[in-house]
Structure 1
Amino acid sequence: MRLATVRRGGVAVVVALTDGGLRELTGMLPDPRTAVDPFVQLIEIIDELDPDVIAAQPLVEEHVSTFAPLVPRPGKIVAAPVNYHDHQEEMKVAGNVSALGFFLKSPASVLAHGGTVRLPYTDRRFDQEGELAFVIKKRARHIDPGDFLEYIAGYTCLLDITMRGGEDRSTRKSFDTFTPVGPYLVTPEEVGCLDDLTLRCSVNGILRQDADISDLIWGVPRFLSYASSVMTLEPGDIVTTGTPAGVGEIAEGDVIEVSIDRIGTLSVTVSAQGAVECPTEGAKSGPRPPAQVTPVRRRTSASELFNVNTFC
C-alpha cells in the first residue's frame, strides 16, 4: 500500500495510490473534522484498511493536486548521526551512531516532494544527505528489536539537508524546508526485506550516493529500539536512519533526487533567493566534509563485516 498527503484547493487530504489512480481516504478517517493531522489518523488505523474499500473511494484528479509534506505535522523527527562507516570515513570523525545516539530535527523543517529547499545564508556550505526513513504507527516505548515491525507504519525517502559548521546538529539541520520527505509512505509488506534495498542520491542527474541499506551500522530494528528506550515515540513521528558517503555541496538551481528500491523517488529543487549573511560564527569549526564528493563505490555490507542481524 502506498499512502500520501496531497494539497487540493489549499486543503491537505490523505490518499492511497491504486491501479485506478489516487483515492481520497477522508471518508475512512475516524473523525476527519478534528484538528488531528489526517495522516496521523490514517496511520493509527492502517492495519484495518481494506484494499477493496480503498478502491471504492473517490478519485483525486492529479492535475488539480500537489504533494504536501507526507506527515504535515510530525510530533518529532528522530535522526541517526553517522550511521554508515563510509560516511564516518569521508567526514574524518571519531564517533558514529554507537557513540552519538541520535539527534532531533524541528518538525517545521518538513518539505513535500516537488518542493523547494531554501538556503538561508550566502556564506555557509549546505550539503545533501539521502536517507531511508520510516513513520511510527502506534505509541512505542522500550521496543524489543524483534518486534520492530509492529510499530512501523511504512517507509519513505528523506533528505537531511545540512549546514556545515560547529553549531549544534539540531540547529544546522532544522531550518524550514531542510527535511524533504516522501512522496509516498510504503507499507512494510510491500517493501519487504530491508537488506535487499539500495539507496541512491543524485544532484542534477549526477550520482553522488549509492549504498545498500544493509550497510547501516545500526539497522532499523536496533536504532528504533534504542530511540524508544530514551523517549516515547508517538504515531506520526518520523525516524530517519542516516546517510552514506557521497554528501556534497548544493546550491541555487540544483535538483536533488533520492531513490530507494520499492519505495520510490523523492525530488526537490534548491533556491538561495532571499539568503543573507549568517549571524553565527560556526563556519570555521565542526566536522569538515571533503571538498570533492566522495567517489561512489560498492562495499561489503555491514551485515557481512559485523554480523549485524537486521531481522529480515
Structure 2
Amino acid sequence: MLRGDMVVDVTTVLDSIPAARWPLDPGDLLIANFDRLRGLIDSMALSGVPRHLADCALKSPIANPSKILGALKNYHEPADDADYPVSTLDRDGLFLKASTSVAGPSDGIELTLPGRQHDHEVELAVVIGSWCRNVSRERAMDHVIGYTVALDMTVKGTEERSLRKSPDGHTILGPWLITRDEIADPGSLGLWLQVNRQPRQRGNTRNLLNDVPRLIEYASSFFTLYPGDIILTGTPPGVGPIASGDIVDAGIGGIGSMRVEVR
C-alpha cells in the first residue's frame, strides 16, 4: 500500500481471502474480493511499518488476469498525419494478449526474439473489478476497480498480432493500481513515454476515439469479463523501437510513473 513515497506491507490481508475450491472461477481472487477487504487493507496501511519506495521491487499490481484485451489505433491524430490510419471497433475489434505476458516494472523488458524490432506503446490500462457480460455503456464503469500504466510491447513482423504482443514480459503493468474513486475522469489523463530520457510519446485520453465505457461495453458483448481482466485503451503517436540497455520511463497523470530496464 502506497503512502506518499513510502510503502506499507499489507500482504497478510491475503489470508482473509475466502477459501477457494476447484473448479475455480476465472480471474484474480484479490480483485474479486477487494471491496470486502478494503477496510482491512486501509487499517493495515495505517498501522504497518513504512519503508521507502526506492527500496522496493515493483511487481505487476494485477497477478492473474484471465485475459488482456487491447484497442487498435484508438487516438484522434492531427489531420496532416496521413500515416496514422483511423481504426474503428466495428471494423477492427479488439486484440488479445496472453495473460502470461504480464510483468512488473522491476521485472524489466526482455527482448525475447533477438534480431527482431521490439516497439514500445504506453497506454492507460483499465482493470475490471467484477463479473460482467453484455454491460451497457451507462453501467460499464460500475465494473471497473481502477487503473494502471501499461507498456504494451510489440514485436514487429508478419505473424498474427496477438502472437507478436504476447511473449513473456511484454505487458508491463505498474507502478501500482489506482482505484476508480481516485480518478475523477479517466477521459482526461495525460500520458507520456521517454527512452533514455528522450521524449517519444505524449498524449491525453481525451483524444480516445472510443472511451473507456465504450471499450467495456464492446468487449463485454463478445467476452465475459472477470475480476482482474485488463483492457488496454490504445497508444498515442510516437511508437518506436527499443534496444538492450535502454531505460524506458512511462507515466500517466493521476496514476504515477515507472522506470523499466530493457535487457
The normalised TM-score by structure 1 is 0.74
Please give the per-residue CA displacement for 1:101-137, whole angstroms capped at 9, x wherever unaligned.
1011011111111222111223221110000001111
1:125 aligns with: 117
Are the equivalent residues in 1 in contact too, given 2:153–2:170 (CA < 8 A)?
yes
Pick from 77, 85, 92 the counterpart of residue 86 of structure 1.
Answer: 77
| 3-state SS, counterpart of residue 159 of structure 1 | strand
Q: Report the counterpart of residue 213 of structure 2 in structure 1.
A: 221
Shift of 1:250: 0.7
Q: Tell me the residue number matched to 1:44.
A: 32
2:64 maps to which residue? 73
> Which one of 223, 231, 237 corresponds to residue 229 of structure 2?
237
Report what 2:43 is aligned to: 53
Structure 1 residue matching 2:13: 3-state secondary structure: helix
Change over 3 Å in CA distance of 1:21–1:70 after alignment to 2: closer
- C-alpha contact 1:84 1:244 (8 A) present in aligned 2: yes
Between structure 1 and structure 2, the one with the greater Rg is 1
Once residues 127 and 138 of structure 2 are traced to their aligned partners in structure 1, the CA distance between those partners, rounded to angstroms, is: 17
- One-letter amino acid of the structure 2 residue matched with residue 18 of structure 1: R
Q: Is the 2:8–2:45 Cα contact (8 Å) retained in structure 1?
A: no
Counterparts of 1:91-106 in structure 2 under 5 Å? 91-93=83-85, 95-106=87-98
Name the CA shift for 1:109/1:52 in 2 (closer, same or farther; >3 Å): closer
After TM superposition, give the deviation of residue 82 of structure 1 in Å.
Answer: 1.3
3-state SS in 2 of match to 1:147:
helix
Unaligned runs of 5+ in 2: none
Task: Tell me which of 159, 184, 199 is aligned to 1:167.
Answer: 159
- Maintained 8 Å contact 2:28/2:66: no
1:248 maps to what in 2? 240
The answer (yes or no) to whether the contact 2:140–2:217 under 8 Å persists in 1 is yes
1:24 equivalent to 2:21? Answer: no
Conserved 8 A contact 1:136-1:238: yes
1:64 deviation in Å? 6.7
1:52 positional shift: 5.1
Q: Distance in 1 between matches of 2:18 and 2:155?
A: 38
Determine helix, strand or coil for the equivalent of 1:170.
helix
Cα-Cα RMSD: 2.7
Query: Which TM-score applies when normalising by structure 2?
Result: 0.87
1:252-291 to 2 correspondence within 5 Å? 252-271=244-263
Q: Are 2:102 and 1:114 aligned?
A: no
Give unpaired runs (5+ residues) of structure 1: 1-15, 272-312
CA contact (8 A) 1:24 1:60 kept: no
Equivalences, count: 255
